[in-house]
Structure 1
């Protein structure tokens, strides 16, 4: 399969199918390796490690409800001092 820098997949699934995806994501985060693939979009591998920025959002718009989970990280985290500045 073709390797890409972006992967997207959309489907209509029962609740159990969504749970399976969330469990697979949890297993991949535990291993610090997420491999995404399907027959149409190719494949992409991500290596989440270190501190992860997490954003959770939920909306109720009357007839439509949804939630989103966004996780991001830096491949090469910026070096940040672990000591406070000297202030007088």
Structure 2
């Protein structure tokens, strides 16, 4: 994921504020899709909630609170 961060920064050089803002929004959506996929994959494999949250913290450098919020958000999708 670190390489993607560099691409986002390089793609914003010389851009106006609206372009920078849109680039960052797109990047955050991209990261959120990765978080969602990881959570749903782990739920399919019947991983425990705490295991998934620990992975989110490690792999995405999230705080425990943010990892739990994402887990709760996407855990509900599994039930649909």
TM-score (norm 2): 0.34
Between Structure 1 and Structure 2, which shows a larger proportion of strand residues?
Answer: 1
TM-score (norm 1): 0.32
Structure number with bigger Rg: 1
